[in-house]
Amino acid sequence: MASYSKGLEGVIAAETKMSYIDGEKGVLEYVGIPIGQLAEFSTFEETVFLLWNTRLPRKGELADFSAKIRALYELPAEIQAMIGQLPKDAQPMHVMRTLVSALGMYDAKPNATDVPTVREKALKILACAPAMLAYFHRHRQGKPFVKPDANMGFAENFLYMLNGAKPTAAMVKALDVCLVLHTDHGLNNSTFSARVVISTMSDIYSAITAAIGSLRGPLHGGANEGVMIMLNEIPTVEAAEKYVHDKLAKKDKIMGFGHRVYKAYDPRASHLKVLAKQLAHDTGNMALYEKSSRIEKVMSEAVAAKGIYPNVDFYSATTYHCIGLPLDLFTPMFVLSRIGGWSGHVIEQLSDNRLFRPDVDYKGPHGVAYTPMDQR
């Protein structure tokens, strides 16, 4: 038996050319480019091109790539009809998991695993995901669907379909930055799930569906909703200190803090903190930002020495709230972005595949005689 690491901590299980993390120094790069530079200068579409091609696009290439995504924004009519039948109280993460899976049934060749075809399928899933979420949100509100506008970029078109009104440039930029920051992150649990599934030579719809199921857990992408629930539970900025200490005394986790890989400040959180502050100021939500900031201060005094700092989910909660998104769409926003990363990993895995099949350390008895039913 080879060595065992609970939760696969510290185990290298794949090679990637997409994102690099130095958890001790708080560094994240996509294809070598520091995440801060991408947040400032890139767009979500360009970032996805970068990850899928391991280089930045030239002007014409980016225009072509964006045009291809925009041409695929609309959902098949059958999926639109399906959304109209969904229970209005369904959870959006369950909706996303179901609809990505369903999309595969309207693909003439869902099981193709050659890389050029898988890239086309990945584009389709990426392009269709915003309408799945926006249409479901309209459906549960009893409002008509707002058709996508191919003149708009990914972030702008999503907010337009969701709210039925053209968003401001500031909101579009804020959402786009969030999408860039969330696109890829090493071999996180959902990305690993996608790679494990595709390594059986299954199909990309199954791989992305599995990844969505993984992401929704509160220890992973579900934490951003947990953060907002916590912020809502804390009545005032002053109450934050007691709230945090009470939780820590009970050994409860504070959502949005800690990370398996980062033992320094998550570089995505530092960008989101600046963004959250600006948006909170612009939208009259400073109390929310100040509550977050106070929680961070208390946590830093209490547990920073253990390497526990805010992670990507902590300030993304305030950011999404200020963009006007309802709480249960926070984790689905992670999905819209991470489909870019998951798909890139599916392509990488297929390009040099080996079936994932680790061993398990059996701890049970041996040589036990079968006991007939009447003697148990």
Question: Which sequence positions are flagged as catalytic?
Answer: 259, 313
CB nearer ligand CMC, residue 188 or residue 292? 188
Please tell me whether residue 263 binds ligand CMC under the rule CB under 6 A.
no
CB nearer ligand CMC, residue 52 or residue 262? 262
Residue 265 C-beta: closest distance to ligand CMC, Å: 13
CB nearer ligand CMC, residue 94 or residue 253? 253
Please tell me whether residue 231 binds ligand CMC under the rule CB under 6 A.
no
Please tell me whether residue 338 binds ligand CMC under the rule CB under 6 A.
no
Residue 56 C-beta: closest distance to ligand CMC, Å: 26
Please tell me whether residue 253 binds ligand CMC under the rule CB under 6 A.
yes
- Chain residue at closest Cβ approach to ligand CMC: 258
CB nearer ligand CMC, residue 137 or residue 259? 259
CB 341 within 8 A of CB 184: yes
Instruction: Tell me the one-letter amino acid at 284.
Output: G
Among residue numbers 303 through 322, which ones bind ligand CMC (CB under 6 A)?
Answer: 303, 306, 308, 311-313
For the chain, what's the residue count? 376
Quick one: which of 97, 259, 291, 345 contacts ligand CMC (CB under 6 A)?
A: 259
Please tell me whether residue 256 binds ligand CMC under the rule CB under 6 A.
yes
Please tell me whether residue 179 binds ligand CMC under the rule CB under 6 A.
no
The answer for residues whose C-beta is within 8 angstroms of residue 221's C-beta and 6 or more apart is 190, 215, 313, 331, 334, 335, 338
Size of the site for ligand CMC (CB under 6 A): 19
The span of 77-85, 161-169, 247-255, 286-294 binding ligand CMC (CB under 6 A) equals 247-255
Please tell me whether residue 337 binds ligand CMC under the rule CB under 6 A.
no
CB nearer ligand CMC, residue 210 or residue 254? 254
* Beta pairing partners, 20: 29
Residue 97 C-beta: closest distance to ligand CMC, Å: 16
166, HSE (Cβ side, Cα atoms, 13 Å): 7
Token match 């391991």: residue? 54
Among residue numbers 133 through 172, which ones bind ligand CMC (CB under 6 A)?
Answer: none
| Tokens read off for 125 | 């899933």
Secondary structure of residue 367 in the 3-state scheme = coil
Residue 115 C-beta: closest distance to ligand CMC, Å: 27
Please tell me whether residue 345 binds ligand CMC under the rule CB under 6 A.
no
Q: State the greatest distance between any 2 C-alpha atoms of the chain, in Å, as a whole number.
A: 76
Question: Residues 190-229 vs ligand CMC: string with x where CB under 6 A?
Answer: -----------------------------xxx-x------
Please tell me whether residue 331 binds ligand CMC under the rule CB under 6 A.
no
* Helix residue spans in the chain (DSSP H): 35-41, 44-53, 59-71, 77-85, 92-103, 115-140, 154-163, 169-182, 189-198, 204-215, 223-233, 240-249, 267-283, 286-303, 312-323, 330-351
CB nearer ligand CMC, residue 78 or residue 252? 252
The span of 97-105, 200-208, 258-266, 346-354 binding ligand CMC (CB under 6 A) equals 258-266
Residue 141 C-beta: closest distance to ligand CMC, Å: 28
Distance CA 43, CA 177 (A): 7
Among residue numbers 91 through 130, which ones bind ligand CMC (CB under 6 A)?
Answer: none
Distance CA 171, CA 282 (A): 10
| Residue 275, burial from CB neighbour count under 10 angstroms (0-12, 13-18, 19+) | buried
Secondary structure of residue 30 in the 3-state scheme = strand
Quick one: which of 16, 42, 183, 188 contacts ligand CMC (CB under 6 A)?
A: 188
Pairing type for strands 33-34 and 27-30 reads antiparallel
Q: What HEC string does 285-334 produce?
A: CHHHHHHHHHHHHHHHHHHHHHCCCECHHHHHHHHHHHHCCCHHHHHHHH
Q: Which residues bind ligand CMC (CB under 6 A)?
A: 188, 219-221, 223, 253-260, 303, 306, 308, 311-313
